[in-house]
């Protein structure tokens, strides 16, 4: 199944010549691709379980389906699985942690008590590998979130609890950034929403804005921590109104200078975040993406190389400065091998970025010249260009498996490690 090094190099040479004829420097595209890190979400490895071991329901409108054997049960298992996935993905990337993945040494440490010390092993792991860390407060899977409301809760005591959790999460993010020399994006997502028609939509939104202001009160250096907030359309059990809606957070980010997180599953089904990138980058210096794949709803399927993903990647590149767009993944599939799920989704994100980096400049030139016929013709012809040969060469040159060869590595790992977990 796997091509030989000779085949890979020969196909690459031909592809490079063809792209050159279209005015595309393959070398430059690959150099730019190595500069774009993808933040792998730790929660694909254990079905959004975390390490509090309190047996709480996930809640928050999140749902993970499937019972494929081998999910990580401990931090060491999760780190080993991540190492496996990272060995199959070309380039250097990041890890996105959720607060309930701290290591609490068997003690009960409530969410309003978490500290950087609980993430010491993660920092060491990241430092050894040159991997940057991102972070998220965990405002679900907890008794104090059981009502479906957290930062916008009518009860002041509950709000205070979650404010403290998020405040501490930013400090942990800043500790990550400081230790690793790369800013941590700390993303706040809360599930708050109404199952049925609310009588008052405004008061909870006022409370959410106030809580967020409280959380972000202390300035933290942007070289250590960047704050992001994530809107959503609806969740299971919160079908009628989500407090932190798209408009709520867009306004919040513009007025408070925060990063807006665009999750591809958080809009109406025919709405794509690809079209939003250029708009929000006009008003915000940086944004965060949660790249996901919704099938009929916000189902968080593994990211495939579909039109939506290609359009998202295309816009990141077309807007000119990919450094302003922090790319995170956000999906969770428990019905297939979880290490494979990370590998498939991340390789697809990178492949989509590569296709975008290899876009013939004649497409944009045709538009500038007002020749929309040529634009469409070239857009369609470009779909047949041999980006696959460039991708294979990239994988080969980064000493990662070419083509589907990585699946054999996953199978071996499954036989030796994940398949033995019960
Ligand atoms: C939920 C949000 C959120 C979560 C993670 C686990 O709809 O997308 O980002 O998926 O925090
Ligand atoms: Zn998300």
Please state the pTM of the whole predicted model.
0.98
pLDDT tens per residue, range 8-41: 999 999 999 999 999 999 999 999 999 999 999 9
Pairwise CA distance, residues 176 & 183, whole Å: 8
Mean pLDDT of 356-364: 98
Q: Which of 263, 315, 333, 414 is catalytic?
A: 263
**DSSP H or E stretch at residue 172:** helix 156-180
Active site includes 266? yes
Mean pLDDT of 294-303: 97
pLDDT for res 55: 73
156-164: long-range pairs with CB below 8 Å, 24+? 159/207, 159/211, 161/111, 161/112, 162/111, 162/137, 162/190, 162/211, 163/211, 163/214, 163/215, 164/112
Give 272 Cα–ligand 1 centroid separation in angstroms: 17
Q: Which of 93, 142, 290, 301 is catalytic?
A: 290
pLDDT tens per residue, range 54-82: 777 888 989 899 999 999 999 999 999 99
CATH code that applies to domain 36-74+91-358: 3.20.20.150
Closest residue to atom 11 of ligand 1, CA basis: 189
Position 175 confidence tier, pLDDT thresholds 50, 70, 90 = very high
pLDDT for res 113: 98
pLDDT tens per residue, range 371-413: 999 999 999 999 999 999 999 999 999 999 999 999 999 999 9
Residue 258 has pLDDT above 70, yes or no: yes
pLDDT for res 1: 55
pLDDT for res 342: 98
């Amino acid at each position: 199944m796997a091509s030989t090094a000779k085949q890979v190099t020969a196909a690459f040479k031909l592809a490079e010549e063809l792209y050159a004829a279209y005015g595309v420097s393959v070398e430059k595209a690959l150099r730019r691709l190595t500069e774009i890190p993808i933040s792998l979400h730790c929660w694909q490895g254990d079905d959004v379980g975390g390490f509090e071991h309190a047996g709480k329901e996930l809640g928050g409108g999140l749902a993970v389906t499937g019972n494929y054997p081998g999910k990580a049960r401990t931090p060491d298992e999760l780190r080993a699985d991540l190492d496996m996935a990272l060995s199959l993905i070309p380039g250097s990337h990041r890890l996105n942690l959720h607060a309930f993945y701290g290591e609490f040494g068997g003690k009960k440490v409530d969410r309003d008590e978490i500290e950087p010390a609980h993430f010491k092993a993660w920092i060491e792991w990241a430092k050894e590998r040159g991997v940057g860390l991102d972070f998220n407060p965990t405002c679900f899977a907890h008794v104090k979130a059981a009502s479906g409301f957290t930062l916008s809760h009518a009860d002041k005591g509950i709000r205070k609890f979650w404010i403290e959790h998020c405040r501490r999460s930013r400090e942990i993010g800043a500790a990550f950034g400081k230790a690793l020399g790369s800013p941590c994006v700390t993303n706040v997502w809360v599930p708050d929403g109404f199952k049925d028609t609310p009588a008052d939509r405004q008061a909870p939104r006022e409370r959410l804005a106030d809580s967020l202001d409280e959380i972000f009160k202390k300035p933290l250096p942007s070289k250590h921590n960047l704050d992001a907030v994530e809107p959503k359309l609806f969740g299971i059990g919160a079908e009628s109104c989500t407090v932190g809606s798209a408009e709520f957070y867009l306004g919040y980010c513009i007025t408070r200078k925060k990063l807006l997180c665009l999750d591809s599953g958080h809009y109406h089904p025919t709405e794509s975040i690809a079209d939003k990138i250029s708009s929000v980058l006009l008003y915000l210096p940086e944004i965060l993406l949660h790249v996901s794949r919704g099938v009929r709803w916000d189902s968080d399927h593994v990211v495939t190389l579909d039109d939506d993903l290609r359009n998202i990647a295309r816009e990141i590149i077309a807007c000119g400065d990919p450094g302003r767009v922090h790319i995170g993944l956000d999906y969770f599939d428990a019905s297939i091998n979880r290490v494979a799920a990370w590998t498939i989704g991340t390789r697809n994100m990178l492949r989509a970025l590569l296709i975008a980096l290899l876009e013939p400049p004649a497409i944009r030139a045709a538009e500038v010249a007002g020749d929309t016929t040529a634009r469409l013709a070239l857009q369609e012809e470009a779909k047949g260009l041999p980006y696959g040969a460039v991708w294979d060469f990239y994988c080969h040159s980064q000493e990662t498996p070419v083509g589907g060869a990585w699946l054999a590595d996953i199978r071996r790992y499954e036989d030796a490690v994940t398949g033995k977990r019960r």
